[in-house]
Amino acid sequence: MKILVVNPNTTASMTDKIRETALAVAAPGTEIVAVNPSDGPVSIEGHYDEAYCVPGLLCEAKKGVAAGADALVIACFDDPGLEACREVLEIPVIGICEAAMAAASMVGHGFSVVTTLPRAVPIIEALAFKYGFERQCRKVRSAEIPVLALEEEGGGAAAKVREEVLAAIEQDHAEAVLLGCAGMTDLADALTKETGVPVIDGVAAAVKFAEAMAGLGLKTCKRRAYETPRAKKYTGAFAFAAPEAGA
Amino acid sequence: MKILVVNPNTTASMTDKIRETALAVAAPGTEIVAVNPSDGPVSIEGHYDEAYCVPGLLCEAKKGVAAGADALVIACFDDPGLEACREVLEIPVIGICEAAMAAASMVGHGFSVVTTLPRAVPIIEALAFKYGFERQCRKVRSAEIPVLALEEEGGGAAAKVREEVLAAIEQDHAEAVLLGCAGMTDLADALTKETGVPVIDGVAAAVKFAEAMAGLGLKTCKRRAYETPRAKKYTGAFAFAAPEAGA
Amino acid sequence: MKILVVNPNTTASMTDKIRETALAVAAPGTEIVAVNPSDGPVSIEGHYDEAYCVPGLLCEAKKGVAAGADALVIACFDDPGLEACREVLEIPVIGICEAAMAAASMVGHGFSVVTTLPRAVPIIEALAFKYGFERQCRKVRSAEIPVLALEEEGGGAAAKVREEVLAAIEQDHAEAVLLGCAGMTDLADALTKETGVPVIDGVAAAVKFAEAMAGLGLKTCKRRAYETPRAKKYTGAFAFAAPEAGA
Amino acid sequence: MKILVVNPNTTASMTDKIRETALAVAAPGTEIVAVNPSDGPVSIEGHYDEAYCVPGLLCEAKKGVAAGADALVIACFDDPGLEACREVLEIPVIGICEAAMAAASMVGHGFSVVTTLPRAVPIIEALAFKYGFERQCRKVRSAEIPVLALEEEGGGAAAKVREEVLAAIEQDHAEAVLLGCAGMTDLADALTKETGVPVIDGVAAAVKFAEAMAGLGLKTCKRRAYETPRAKKYTGAFAFAAPEAGA
Amino acid sequence: MKILVVNPNTTASMTDKIRETALAVAAPGTEIVAVNPSDGPVSIEGHYDEAYCVPGLLCEAKKGVAAGADALVIACFDDPGLEACREVLEIPVIGICEAAMAAASMVGHGFSVVTTLPRAVPIIEALAFKYGFERQCRKVRSAEIPVLALEEEGGGAAAKVREEVLAAIEQDHAEAVLLGCAGMTDLADALTKETGVPVIDGVAAAVKFAEAMAGLGLKTCKRRAYETPRAKKYTGAFAFAAPEAGA
Amino acid sequence: MKILVVNPNTTASMTDKIRETALAVAAPGTEIVAVNPSDGPVSIEGHYDEAYCVPGLLCEAKKGVAAGADALVIACFDDPGLEACREVLEIPVIGICEAAMAAASMVGHGFSVVTTLPRAVPIIEALAFKYGFERQCRKVRSAEIPVLALEEEGGGAAAKVREEVLAAIEQDHAEAVLLGCAGMTDLADALTKETGVPVIDGVAAAVKFAEAMAGLGLKTCKRRAYETPRAKKYTGAFAFAAPEAGA
């Protein structure tokens, strides 16, 4: 089984960290392919960045399917481009926010999320609502750090994340804490051990759920919501991306 | 006052129809600028098309602000790129779905929507939830026509829309019916007259609400959800779109 | 275009303040008629007061329509009598709470409300739910002042309102703050300027939305919820108000 | 114990029918006082009629308390004036819609309501939301009869109600059916016997719940939502109704 | 009329306290039978304890009906076995949480609950949602005491409950406070007197609502959700409990 | 990895079918242990049956953990005893309804469920709410067959299930259909092939999600909702089940 993990920003060091996590949890027979687009923002912080990461994500997704991927993981906690990928692919597509929330709901009654910047808070709150976890999501907390601070050694970003994780447990009575950025993927295990509360990384969760969905032989339904894009002309710079007849 | 109306697809005939509607409802002192991007899909039918229309929409939005626009209307009923535009602009940004639903809620207790293809139904249902109109939205109906059928003379598209509008009134007891595609903008008045029920076109509603918001001097709040995008590097083909420091 | 603005309490100084705001935002061609009933409570603080303001409001509304009004604004943040007015009139009827919440939802992701007495808090919370803004309404705050304190010079009421507006921004992360009483209408602009966050007055918002709705030619749907009252006998003191056949 | 039952319309024959039901279910020690105001609409069909029935209801409620009532039942299925009565009284106030829905929720998983005119449907749907029964309320059905048709012998109104009750059981799978008008109070027992499904009359339910609440010694909380109206001046025709200091 | 009150744990002193409350509020003609099973947990603190109390509760419920009970009250605030009892009985079945929440909703706009251990908080929050009171339930508070501490003299349990009741009123603005454990039944009256806010005991509320429901002649609907259990074989230790044909 | 699958009813042929499905989807390194209790109902159809299956389920769950299970699957679509198992175990516990709904939400926008008897419909609707899938669950349909009909050859049960699956796709526009009974586990693949829409069996989904959760090293949080049962005395027949100190 081959799982394609796309980091939708263009920072290779984050892709490396994501690949490492994916490899660490993958089952024996699972091949992990972790990539990022070459075109787009170096980090995704808000809707504007999301808008410019999705075309690159879609390209990587299509390439990965051509190369035989059995499932796709979108490795950004905003789950950008989730529906667009589901339209254009038949293999299961899993967002890391979606996977982390589903996993949390199976080991605790309510969870909190610790993310990077305050501007991500309303985005993740909206995702909790979209997926139906609005009653289980106690609070979305910001560590008040930019995404790329997580790539810097010694910058104190990990300490700020830890502080909010502890606050989530003590103040929100969170029974699971989600790390709300793919760049935090390396912090989950130590925090779980320290706190005794499940601290869940979406990358790991999504890889395992992708294995599960592919193992079940499930495909995205091609009726209605995720119907294949209709063949049509795209003009100008995006002409290359136009859906083809029979696609 | 100058209202920028962006049709996010690249079909100029639809932009012309939208401009006509906007001009017809604009107040005496209002200048209407109606444009479409040159790069992107010729029609927007689903999330994949949305993904490729937003970069072009953002370019037109920025150009329009540089040229003095006081408010932006996004003239596609999926309200694509609404949050991204609100991040990058200070002027009020109004989606035509959002405006149509708000207007409907002021003249009736519950409304239905008539859109083009079945694949748009879940998208519009999700918008109703996002804006808080899920209890007022009785049903989203599809006329089972592609968007560009509305640009063809004599193809029967208008007749199919009319049929669903009548069904919404009789079967859903809709007290207002929204036309769920900017390409239907020319059908509203006749249907209102025929049925005696408000049949609401989002383009007209959004233009008037944009006048209202600009007239109130309201600006998009630049804290948290719609904070200006952070200055950062964009790589490759999208380098031009990178948010600048001080942007 | 003629907009009728009814202050449903009987305090003329508040009507004057409301008229001033309405005139300040009205478009060039808009005539503002601002009135209050002669019978009823001098201020509206709770459901009991509401019950005794609605008959007077209905009289003013009917008189205004007879005099050619194109839209009605109900200038009390409890939106009393909104549905009754919609039943008995065909012109659009806009409540100032409804308008303020709709405007806020277009410039920020979540808003708070600052109202007068604690007893108004559950009323406004219920309105947020009724209009579908319960997820966008972060908090309804009370400045702990009676309505008529806003009519007194030097009583400190404005300072208390300002304090709660600042708290809404800092503590609730409100991206817009609504002034939850028509008597606060003169405070919005200074608070917007001071805080950089949209502080929205419902009177202004409702006047502009009324212009928009009338400009769109929209009428209240006369089927089902807002059907014209059925002709019938009213007994005793209210005989004069009985709906007539053909009304 | 004395239970005051106010029919808020001015039709004495309906008050008589309501009194009969109340007497039939009252416990041995319970005195029933059933009255209607002299001023107001002869039937309540929509928000406009509601607006003109509440002042009369409030007068009867205050008189009843002065005469020693231990609880108040508002005998109109729209529950008009419920909050206003709770503000001005300390004794428990029960609406017949509220009571019927609470009773239904204790004998079945989901219920439907059969009311009079289509215009009552959105009003009762809104009440289901307000009381929290929106998930248990399967459907609100209209028998398409005016309220006073229920007062006429041989007019076929009862047959139309019965037809909708049967449809609620067969089509909605209703496990309880509520009679959505006080004028239907005499129909419940026969329909329960015929169908084997609880057909619940709100008048009976409210009288028994009023006995229960008064028997528990519970009083309406006088903080916040139902605080006693503040002493203030009422002008003109309603001067008599002004809340007094110390009220 | 005979009301069966089952305390589903096996602690007789708590059953005695419950019986005392029930007797104190029962109407003149009401006979109270208060019992507990002999098999099961001595207190109910969480889902595991619930699982082992329900078989004993069902036995007592069936015995009570055989002895002529007209209604059943389940005297544990988790309302364990409510649906199972409704399936197997025809008489009305009332849970004390359900009754307390319904009563609270009739005397105040929002309530809080004070329960025993923190583990009960999510259980009661889920009940509030199940019954539709999630918008009226302001907060579920834990006094951080085990259930049986309420049976000990001088252990300070009552003082801790009082402290949380006061906090509910001051901090949550609760307009009613529910005592979230049958073992607190003796504390309600004094706390109501002290605070002036209705402090509601579910045992008392459920007994009065049971009288009301039985007085109305209402029976549990035997269609769909609460249909009589189908006749079938039970194996091993539970063979005795198998539903019989015609049961 | 060892996955314990407990069929909570006592019908061994159903356990065999469940084991077969589990083995078919298990990953190479996964050992499947499928068992059923010896005490309890032969099928689970409603809350009463549920009450008598949970004690047996808990015994099997504890035995399985003692024998080294890494995760537990509860193989009944009502997910009985889910919370009780989570309290008493540390390994992940997955219900088949929960797993099927989570899987469905990842391959389609909305799903329907096809279950056995009408009495199961409200139970599954309540589970959809509990897990947060109420907006994605389009309809719960009953094939109007008892559970054990699925164990009989040639009884037509499978044909009735198929009919409802087709109706779900055509009438509800379901983008995934869940088989709402563990006894239907052998029907999923053929129906998926026939319809081209994902027809999801909860047993298979739960086994794969259990592998995923165990593979992630996630444990049930032992704070608050799923805290280990407190040590206490159980009396009579259930004395053996009393939680021990240190448990």
Please give the full DSSP string across D184-204, using - where no structure is assigned: GGGGHHHHHHHHSS-EEEHHH
State the Cα–Cα distance between residues E70 and E89, nearest whole angstrom.
10
Helix (H, G, I), strand (E, B) or coil at F172: coil
The answer to whether the CB of B244 falls within 8 A of the CB of C131 is no
Over residues D155-174, the mean pLDDT reads: 96
Q: What pLDDT digit, counting tens, does each position of E70-90 carry?
A: 999 999 999 999 999 999 999
Q: How many CB atoms lie within 10 A of CB B134?
A: 14
Q: Please list, in sequence order, all residues whose beta carbon lies within 8 angstroms of the beta carbon of residue E80, skipping any fewer than 6 positions away.
A: E8, E44, E50, E53, E54, E57, E74
Between chains, do F109 and B122 touch, taking CB under 8 Å as contact? yes
CB nearest B58 (choices: A51, A121, A224): A51
Which of the four pLDDT bands, split at 50, 70 and 90, describes residue A33? very high
Give how far Cα A80 sits from Cα of A93, A124, B41, B96, D148, Å: 12, 11, 19, 23, 58
**Residue A97 C-alpha, separation from nearest chain C C-alpha, in angstroms:** 20
User: Whole-angstrom distance between the N-terminal and C-terminal Cα of chain B?
Assistant: 24
State the Cα–Cα distance between residues E84 and E101, nearest whole angstrom.
21
State the Cα–Cα distance between residues C231 and F241, nearest whole angstrom.
70
- Residue A64 confidence (pLDDT) above 90: yes
Q: What pLDDT digit, counting tens, does each position of E99-117 carry?
A: 999 999 999 999 999 999 9
> Which of B74-101 are b and which e, b meaning 16 or more Cβ less than 10 Å from the residue's Cβ?
bbbbbbbbbbbbbbbbebbbbbbbbbbb
Measure CA B21 to chain center: 13
Tell me the two tokens of residue D52: 């003109």
Give percent above pLDDT 90 in chain D.
97
Q: What pLDDT digit, counting tens, does each position of B78-87 carry?
A: 999 999 999 9
- Residue D247 confidence (pLDDT) above 50: no
Which of the four pLDDT bands, split at 50, 70 and 90, describes residue B153? confident
Q: What pLDDT digit, counting tens, does each position of D45-92 carry?
A: 999 999 999 999 999 999 999 999 999 999 999 999 999 999 999 999
B-C contacts (CB, under 8 Å): 144
Helix (H, G, I), strand (E, B) or coil at C132: coil
CB nearest D233 (choices: C42, C234, C237): C42
Taking alpha carbons only, the member of F111, F105, F100, F104 closest to residue F173 is: F111
pLDDT score of A153: 82
| Domains of chain B by start residue, with CATH | 2-96+205-241 (3.40.50.12500), 97-201 (3.40.50.12500)
Between chains, do D110 and F122 touch, taking CB under 8 Å as contact? yes
State the Cα–Cα distance between residues D43 and D14, nearest whole angstrom.
9
State the Cα–Cα distance between residues D169 and C151, nearest whole angstrom.
57
Q: Strand D31-35 relative to strand D40-41: parallel, antiparallel, unpaired?
A: unpaired
Q: How many CB atoms lie within 10 A of CB A138?
A: 21
Closest residue on chain C to E110 (Cα): C122
**Residue F227 C-alpha, separation from nearest chain A C-alpha, in angstroms:** 10
Closest residue on chain A to E129 (Cα): A135
- Residue C247 confidence (pLDDT) above 50: no
pLDDT score of C157: 96
Supply φ then ψ for residue F69, to 5 degrees: -65, 145
Tell me the two tokens of residue B34: 């109606």
User: Whole-angstrom distance between the N-terminal and C-terminal Cα of chain C?
Assistant: 24
pLDDT score of B245: 67
Which of the four pLDDT bands, split at 50, 70 and 90, describes residue B247? very low
Q: What pLDDT digit, counting tens, does each position of C168-187 carry?
A: 999 999 999 999 999 999 99
Mean pLDDT of the residues in chain D: 97
- Residue E246 confidence (pLDDT) above 60: no
For residue E228, the 8-state DSSP code is P
Which chains lie within 8 Å of chain C at 3 or more CB pairs, if any? A, B, D, E
Q: What pLDDT digit, counting tens, does each position of E181-226 carry?
A: 999 999 999 999 999 999 999 999 999 999 999 999 999 999 999 9
F198 touching E, CB under 8 A?
Answer: no
Between chains, do F84 and E129 touch, taking CB under 8 Å as contact? no
Which residue has tokens 């007055």?
A: C201
Between chains, do A212 and F211 touch, taking CB under 8 Å as contact? yes
State the Cα–Cα distance between residues B55 and E186, nearest whole angstrom.
67
Amino acid at C212: A
**Residue B168 C-alpha, separation from nearest chain C C-alpha, in angstroms:** 13
**Residue A118 C-alpha, separation from nearest chain C C-alpha, in angstroms:** 10
Which residue has tokens 């002192």?
A: B29
The answer to whether the CB of F176 falls within 8 A of the CB of F111 is yes
F122 touching D, CB under 8 A?
Answer: yes
- pLDDT digit string (tens) for chain F, length 247 residues: 999 999 999 999 999 999 999 999 999 999 999 999 999 999 999 999 999 999 999 999 999 999 999 999 999 999 999 999 999 999 999 999 999 999 999 999 999 999 999 999 999 999 999 999 999 999 999 999 999 999 998 889 999 999 999 999 999 999 999 999 999 999 999 999 999 999 999 999 999 999 999 999 999 999 999 999 999 999 999 999 999 865 4
pLDDT score of E247: 44
State the Cα–Cα distance between residues C89 and C83, nearest whole angstrom.
10
F92 touching A, CB under 8 A?
Answer: yes
pLDDT score of B201: 98
State the Cα–Cα distance between residues C231 and C228, nearest whole angstrom.
9
Pick among B6, B47, B83, B127 to test the A interface (most A CBs inside 10 A):
B47
pLDDT score of F44: 98
Give percent above pLDDT 90 in chain A.
97
Pick among C107, C111, C135, C136 to test the A interface (most A CBs inside 10 A):
C135
C38 touching D, CB under 8 A?
Answer: yes
Taking alpha carbons only, the member of E36, E80, E86, E93 closest to residue E54 is: E80
Q: What pLDDT digit, counting tens, does each position of C5-19 carry?
A: 999 999 999 999 999
